[in-house]
Amino acid sequence: MPVNLDRLAAKASETTEVTLNQRTLQLAARFMNDEDDLEARELVKKLKGIYVRSFEFDKPGEYSQADVEEVRAQLKSPIWEKIVRVHSKRDGENAEVYFKADSTKQIGGLVVIAADPRELTIVHIDGPLDPSDIDKLGGDFGVPRIEVPPQPKPAKEGAR
Amino acid sequence: MNRRLLPAAVFACLALPISISASDLSRVVQAMENDLGVHHTHIPMWGMAMFVGKVVSGFQMPGVKLAVFEDARLSEHSPQELDSALARALGPEWTPFVTSVSNDGSEQNWIYLRQDRKKLKMFIATVETNELSLVEVNVSEREMCKWINNVYEMAARK
């Protein structure tokens, strides 16, 4: 995880952590044979890891906007850029998506912060991908279902 | 079944936990005992139960191995200590998959994965107060698909 979440973990009533490193992802890809999963399988093969931390709270309001802001503050430019705030199709959850541009100006990873009153989920997808790929992974591996509108690709170096 | 073979079959089933001494579960149980100073509980007739279950239902639980610790000394260890002890005992060939910890320490679950040739193995550890359960199981393709599609629900069902 590129962000420190210890304070949230201390406040949450339950913390769930899903770790899929490259080895586990390659393994999981072998089992994604449903027609619905084919796009996700091709994507998963390229990724270095998917890391999910989900915090459940007993009551709404047990975590504050300041707690979320502390997470946001760790996703700073120039490494991280916030691309969009989206509204989840499921449960009206709010989500923010940040991307990391790698040395070749390609998107090298994404962080999703998905918040609802009693649950906060942080997802780090490590590896080359397009923001719209989140939709392909949504619902798999604990990644929340969110739809990211198409984003302009980062300009390649030397491009006018 | 031939009556003369029955005692041998029963013996083989009762001896099953001993015959899997080379399994990861046995190794982990021993390491956890040494590391945490706790002792696992013998489950009488576990091999027999698996055999009867297979005969009655016609369904063999694929490679299920179970160990239970009921030891008051478990509560002396923090979730982090238990997690570290488990990771050390399992070794690097097992990769962490899902961890779920309640803040009051009342329940902790760890799930690890390992590829064993063409099989996928899952190791599940659950701690509730003074009880630690360790389960090693082969995972079918269908089961793994369910895990991929709904990690949280499957972890809650374990």
Tens-digit pLDDT profile for residues A73-123: 899 888 888 877 776 555 656 888 898 876 666 788 889 898 888 999 999
CB pair distance less than 8 Å for B151 and A31: no
- Residue B98 and residue A13 in contact, taking contact as beta carbons nearer than 8 Å: no
Mean pLDDT of B145-158: 68
Q: How confident is the model at residue A144 (pLDDT cuts 50, 70, 90)?
A: confident
- B113 in contact with A, Cβ within 8 Å: yes
Task: Please report the DSSP string for B115-158 in residue order.
Answer: EETTEEEEEEEEEETTEEEEEEEEE-HHHHHHHHH-HHHHHHH-
Q: What is the 3-state secondary structure (H, E, C) of B49-95?
A: HHHHHHHHHCCCCCCCEEEEEECHHHHHCCHHHHHHHHHHHHCCCCE
What contacts 24+ positions apart, CB below 8 Å, involve A29-37?
A31/B120, A31/B141, A31/B144, A31/B145, A31/B148, A32/A140, A32/B145, A32/B148, A33/B141, A33/B145, A34/B145, A37/A140, A37/B145, A37/B148
* Minimal C-alpha gap between A85 and chain B (Å): 24
pLDDT attached to residue B109: 92
Total residues found in chain A within this entry: 160
Residue of B nearest to A137 (CA): B149
| Distance, CA of B158 to CA of B148 (rounded, Å) | 14
CA A86 to chain centre: 12
Nearest to B65 by CA among B101, B16, B4: B16
Q: What is the pLDDT of residue B13?
A: 39
Which residue shows structure tokens 């374990």? B158
Task: Name the more confident of A83 and B70.
Answer: B70
Our CA angle for A121, A127, A129, nearest 5°, is 85
Distance CA B101, CA B107 (A): 6
A14/B contact by beta carbon, under 8 A: yes
Structure confidence at residue B134 (pLDDT):
94
Identify the pLDDT of residue B20.
38
**Total number of domains in chain A:** 1
With contact defined as beta carbons under 8 Å apart, do A85 and A146 qualify? no
SS3 A123: strand
Cα–Cα distance for residue pair A10/A120, rounded to 1 Å: 13
Look at B86 and A141; give whichever has higher pLDDT. B86
Inform me whether the C-beta atom of residue A140 falls under 8 Å from chain B C-beta atoms. Answer: yes
Asked if the ipTM is above 0.95, the reply is no
CA separation for the pair B106, B127 (Å, rounded): 8
Distance between CA B151 and CA A140 in Å, rounded? Answer: 8
* Residues of A in Cβ contact (< 8 Å) with B111: none
Residue A50 lies in a domain: yes
Q: What pLDDT is stored for residue A14 in this prediction?
A: 92
Among chain A residues, the shortest Cα distance to B111 is held by A18
pLDDT at B2: 45
In a domain, A30, yes or no: yes
Q: Could you confirm whether domain B23-42+60-157 is CATH 3.30.70?
A: no
Among all residues of chain A, which has the CA nearest to that of B95? Answer: A24
Which DSSP symbol is given to A98? E
- Could you tell me if A37 lies within 8 Å of chain B, comparing CB atoms? yes
Q: Mean pLDDT lowest for which of A13-17, A66-70, B4-8?
A: B4-8
Which pLDDT belongs to residue B84?
Answer: 93
Q: Is residue B104's pLDDT more than 60?
A: yes
Six-digit token pair at B90? 């399992």
Say yes or no for a CB contact (<8 Å) between B149 and A139.
yes
Mean pLDDT score, B96-116: 87
Residue A98 touches chain B, beta carbons under 8 Å: no
**pLDDT tier, B31 (very low <50, low <70, confident <90, very high otherwise):** very high
pLDDT band at A160 (very low <50, low <70, confident <90, very high): very low
Q: Which of A37-41, A49-53, A116-120, B27-31 has the lowest mean pLDDT?
A: A37-41
A121, closest residue in chain B (CA to CA): B152
A126 pLDDT above the threshold of 80: yes
Q: Is the CB of B148 inside 8 Å of chain A's CB atoms?
A: yes
| Chain B residues within an 8 Å CB radius of A141 | 148, 151
Between A125 and A155, name the one with better pLDDT. Answer: A125
pLDDT of B157: 60
* B118 vs A95, higher pLDDT: A95
Give me the residue spans of the domains in chain B.
Answer: 23-42+60-157
- Which two three-digit tokens encode residue A135? 């939709």
Considering only CA atoms, which of B119, B126, B115 is closest in space to residue B155? B126
**Using CA atoms, how far apart are residues A60 and B38, in angstroms rounded to an integer?**
39
Q: Is pLDDT at A46 greater than 70 in this prediction? A: yes
Is the pLDDT at B11 greater than 80? The verdict is no
Average pLDDT of the residues of chain A: 80
Q: Looking at the predicted structure, is the pLDDT value of residue A60 above 50?
A: yes
Least confident of A2-11, A35-44, A52-61: A35-44
Instruction: Say whether residue A1 is in contact with chain B using an 8 A CB cutoff.
Output: no
What domain range includes position A17? 6-137
